[in-house]
Amino acid sequence: MQGAEDFDRSPSIIKTGVNEMAEIKQLYWEDVEVGDEVTTLPKIATTMMLVKWAGASGDFNPHHYDDKSPMAAATGSIIVHGALKRQWLIQLMTDWIGDKGKLRKFSCQYRRLDFPRRMANFVDPMEGETWLCKGTVTKKYVEDDQHLVECEIWVENGQGEKAVPGNATVALPYQGAK
């Protein structure tokens, strides 16, 4: 299994689940081809991350923080917010397209329930599942003077399943023919 340590852009994720951007690169439309991969973004959902997300997003549904709420009790764990996984996939795209890229369309479907890692202490999560946000370029075209790229995107869970499949359309800067 591919782990977070295979991604040198985000060494801190192993400890905290927080990705630090190594550097900000601008992607240009002419540099993208159909079949290209979007730069993989690893994520670790922790109980701490879910608490932070509840506060930051305003989703206070108890099954995301209370093990004894009916749905969490039935599944045996609190459940990762679908919208948090959505936001991971949005970050996958905004990291990839750079400052001048624009996310135009985005969709995703929450197909699997995911369960966060517990915290070992105030900083480190316990051993467990790592999620990988991934994408591939499926279409490249020009429409209404916009240079557009479509991608199939997904969150892959620790079992290698596409837990959250989706699609994104981005507008990229274009510097003219090479």
Q: Which residues would be at the binding site for other proteins (CB under 8 A)?
A: 13, 16-21, 24, 43, 49, 52-53, 55-58, 63, 70-71, 81-84, 86-88, 90-91, 94-95, 99-100, 102-110, 166
7 vs 110 by CB, closer to other proteins: 110
16 vs 77 by CB, closer to other proteins: 16
Question: 3-state DSSP call for residue 170?
Answer: strand
**Gap between the Cα atoms of 45 and 118, Å rounded:** 9
DSSP lists the bridge partners of residue 70 as none
**Gap between the Cα atoms of 90 and 8, Å rounded:** 21
Nearest Cα to 58, choosing from 77, 80, 83? Answer: 83
Nearest Cα to 26, choosing from 98, 95, 93, 92? Answer: 98
Least Cβ distance, residue 13 to other proteins (angstroms): 7
Least Cβ distance, residue 158 to other proteins (angstroms): 17
33 vs 74 by CB, closer to other proteins: 74
Least Cβ distance, residue 128 to other proteins (angstroms): 16
Q: Of all helices (H) and strands (E), which one includes residue 95?
A: helix 82-97
CA 89 to each of CA 69, 86, 117, 124, 152: distance values in angstroms, whole numbers, following the listed order: 28, 5, 19, 23, 11
51 vs 137 by CB, closer to other proteins: 51
32 vs 64 by CB, closer to other proteins: 64
Least Cβ distance, residue 74 to other proteins (angstroms): 8
Least Cβ distance, residue 115 to other proteins (angstroms): 14
Length of the chain: 178
